[in-house]
Amino acid sequence: MKSKKTRERILDASLEMFNKKKASNVSTVQISAAMKISPGNLYYYYANKEDVIRCIWEERMSSILNELLEKTENIKSAADLLDYLKEWMEYLINYRFFYTELSTLFINDEKLVELYKDTYKKMRDTFTDLVIRFGEEGYIINDDDVSKILSVQSAVASAVHMLNRYDVYSDKGINDEAFIGFSWIRIIAALEPIFEPHFKAEMDAELTSRGFSKEKYMETVK
């Protein structure tokens, strides 16, 4: 029987190296060298790097993502939305290589694309339902579907932009808590065009109470 301990250690080491160097810049030989095991030992558990990445997705990422999607029903205020975005950003930080290299990973592995499809559909449907509910409950505008779609797409792009700059912020001495706060600023700025005035005011007040503002963000990124 294969050792779960060694198998998990390989996933841990791979994830750390992928996040630091990008998966496209890491080989199975480098992973085994970092772990001080032979390449053959690694291949006993995983056929290749793509196999490692698929296992990270199947055994770790997808379950966390599904749990996050189940929590959207609990979002009923600006504070709830920020708490939810915090959990999302923590997840994205931990698996940032995947989302910053998504296109490359999919080009290199059709099996990964197939594994991702169902979760992506669930994610799209869940967020569509959330936007509809927010419109019905008066948090966001409820009569301009194009603006809602564009704002949500912009928010997603903002999150990915922040992930791509994670190492830059880290080199500046900005810890994960502050990084998540600045990510809030970018994501909320993308969503603001569809916020109703009362919800925008509530969000601004909530961000300020947590020690984050557009001014603080702009000062930090100079």
CA distance 13 to 34: 8
Range of the domain at 210: 57-221
40 and 139 assigned to the same domain: no
Break the chain down into helix, strand, coil percent, rounded to 5: 85, 0, 15
In-domain check, residue 52: no
Q: Compute how many other C-beta atoms are within 10 angstroms of the C-beta atom of residue 99.
A: 17
CA distance 47 to 40: 10
32 and 85 assigned to the same domain: no
Q: What is the pTM of this model?
A: 0.91
119-146 tens-digit pLDDT:
999 999 999 999 999 999 999 998 778 8
In-domain check, residue 169: yes
pLDDT mean over 101-130: 93
Number of domains in the chain: 2
Residue 168 CB contacts under 8 Å (≥ 6 apart), including other chains? none
40 and 80 assigned to the same domain: no
Q: Compute how many other C-beta atoms are within 10 angstroms of the C-beta atom of residue 97.
A: 25
134-189 tens-digit pLDDT:
999 999 998 778 888 889 999 999 999 999 999 999 999 999 999 999 999 999 99
Provide the CATH number for the domain around residue 40.
1.10.10.60
pLDDT mean over 194-198: 95
Provide the CATH number for the domain around residue 152.
1.10.357
30 and 116 assigned to the same domain: no
Answer yes or no: are the C-beta atoms of 82 and 44 closer than 8 Å.
no
